[in-house]
Amino acid sequence: MKFKSILLAAVASAAMVVASAAAELPAEIKQNGLRIAVVPNYPPMEFKDPATATLTGFDVELGEALAKKLGVKAVWQETSFDQLMPGLATQRFDIILTGMTDLKSRQETASFIDYLRSGPRFFVQASRAAEFKEPAALCGKKVGASRRTMFPKDIAAWSDKNCGATPIEFVGTEGSADARTQLKQGRIDAAVQGNETLPYIMDLEPNTYVPVGTPIAFQYTGLATPVKAEDLREALRAALEALIADGSYKALLAKWKLSDNAIGKVTINAGQ
């Protein structure tokens, strides 16, 4: 009973903080809703439901929950990845919530509220699992990953550390789907994908892929806000902490098979 009383007190305290922070939201957001930029092509983070074509995914449900905590409507604005930062700078939307990695190089343009911890992981075709029981077996092999991510650098760093005179031969792809296609075609021996998306892909294509080893690096996924939007950022941080306190965050993680990617504490600009 004592633990339950402490938990209820923590939830009540978080709610009071959220209410106070929400009161400081810009009048336009209070009136018209929170405009959230999303690129719906990264399941299970954000994607279109194949059956209904509606927007869904962990980020979508998290965004709806954050907006509800703040007492405003979530207004989703679909865009392309290369328009995310320019759109935030020109105030076409208020925040970005679309599986974006918090990188030091991006922090001059945006500030990030970190809400997930993830990392790139090797995987191979299930039919070749016996060849690659350990990551070291990938040394000297062709490994593909999206060239638009940090994965190429992560793979190179891992290869330099572990492969010596037989480095991994990196193959840049046009995205994670292209990497999987090349893997099936035998053009590469292995691929790399974020461990936040790999379980979902494996569920979609049962008995097709097998992970190799553990994540080779770690990074934070962050909700991006304009650098100068301090009141909005504080309100969102408080709302996220409240979702953690009341168990909503944990439930969403479990629903989307992301429990291994949970953060223990909300941080700002923790990415490197």
Measure Cα distances from 122 to 38, 73, 204, 222 in Å. Answer: 27, 39, 18, 23
DSSP 265: S
Asked if 183 and 158 count as a contact pair (C-beta separation under 8 A), the reply is no
What does the pLDDT average to over 49-74? 97
- The Cα–Cα gap between 237 and 114 comes to 9
pLDDT of residue 150: 85
pLDDT at res. 84:
96
| Mean pLDDT rounded to a whole number for the chain | 92
**Contact 99/221 with Cβ under 8 angstroms?**
yes
CA dihedral 29, 116, 146, 154 (to 10 degrees): 130
Rg (alpha carbons) of the chain, rounded to whole number:
20
pLDDT digits (tens, 9 = 90+) for 189-226: 999 999 999 999 999 999 999 999 999 999 999 999 99
Q: What confidence category does residue 3 fall into, taking pLDDT thresholds of 50, 70 and 90?
A: very low
Q: In what order do the strands lie in the sheet with 142-146?
A: 169-173, 142-146, 190-194, 120-125, 209-212
pLDDT (0 to 100) of residue 21: 63
User: For residue 221, which of 96, 93, 123 has the smallest C-alpha distance?
Assistant: 96
Q: Quick check: 73 and 194 in contact, CB under 8 A?
A: no
Print burial letters for 207-218: b (CB count within 10 Å at least 16), e (below 16): eebbbbbebbbe
Is the backbone of residue 133 left (phi > 0), alpha (psi -120 to 50) or beta?
Answer: alpha
| Mean pLDDT within 122-147 | 97
Question: Which tens digits make up the pLDDT trace of 68-98?
Answer: 999 999 999 999 999 999 999 999 999 999 9
Q: Which H or E element spans position 230?
A: helix 230-245
pLDDT score of 4 more than 90: no
CB atoms within 10 A of CB 182: 18
Tell me the CB-side half-sphere exposure of residue 28, using CA atoms within 13 A: 7
Give pTM, 2 decimals: 0.83
What's the token pair of residue 13? 């305290």
